């Protein structure tokens, strides 16, 4: 019977022979075996760790000093429940100068207050940023300008959607549509 090990990423019990083994060197110089379900899972986890560190460095740069308050990390985790680390990092980098200017303009004092203000600005803009990013990615799938123009024509505004739905509702509820259906 093969020995079972616990996946470091998901916590699932897997056989040692089937697991991806990573030899980790601790800060004291000792080596430890860490097991993952697959190489892909290990690489995904390592990429997310690196992106998380980049987000921390980006927020440190916005305030101009290392942040020791844990409020930032809690806010980042909250954002990560809805958005990927890549999206969060791109949003922070895109809005960094705006946030610096807003903090200076509004004369926000104190570590905690600046962190909360910075994270609130990011929370307020990330939805639009992610939506714009997704729209850009959709546009990139079209190879020619003509295909892109057809795609843009398909998009409806909220007013057009409401008008179309009202017309549909009125047409399905009319007596003439009922009588036409009987023919």
Task: Report yes or no: 126 and 87 within 8 Å, Cβ to Cβ.
Answer: yes
Query: pTM, whole model, 2 decimals?
Result: 0.67
- pLDDT at site 78: 93
Q: Which residues of the chain have pLDDT under 50?
A: 143, 145, 148-149, 151-153
Dump the DSSP string for 105-126: HTT--SHHHHHHHHHHHHHHHH
DSSP H or E segment with residue 27: none
Question: Does residue 66 come out as left (phi exceeding 0), alpha (psi in the -120 to 50 range) or beta?
Answer: beta
Instruction: List the one residue out of 31, 33, 32, 38 whose CA is nearest residue 14.
Output: 38
- pLDDT at site 79: 93
- pLDDT at site 93: 92
Q: Rounded distance, CA 14 to CA 162, Å?
A: 53
- pLDDT at site 9: 86
């Amino acid at each position: 019977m093969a020995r079972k090990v616990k996946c470091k990423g998901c916590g699932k019990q897997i056989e040692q022979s089937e697991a991806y083994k990573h030899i980790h060197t601790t800060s004291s110089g000792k080596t430890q075996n860490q097991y993952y379900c697959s190489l892909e899972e290990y690489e995904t986890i390592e990429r997310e760790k690196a992106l998380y560190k980049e987000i921390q460095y980006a927020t440190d740069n916005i305030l101009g000093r290392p942040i020791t308050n844990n409020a930032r990390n809690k806010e980042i985790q909250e954002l990560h429940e809805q958005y990927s680390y890549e999206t969060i990092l791109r949003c922070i980098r895109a809005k960094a100068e705006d946030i610096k200017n807003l903090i200076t303009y509004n004369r926000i004092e104190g570590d905690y207050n600046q962190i909360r203000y910075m994270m609130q600005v990011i929370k307020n803009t990330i939805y639009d940023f992610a939506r714009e990013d997704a729209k850009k990615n959709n546009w990139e799938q079209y190879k020619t300008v003509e295909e892109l123009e057809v795609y843009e024509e398909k998009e409806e505004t909220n007013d057009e959607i409401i008008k179309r739905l009202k017309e549909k509702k009125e047409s399905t509820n009319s007596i003439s549509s009922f009588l036409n259906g009987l023919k």
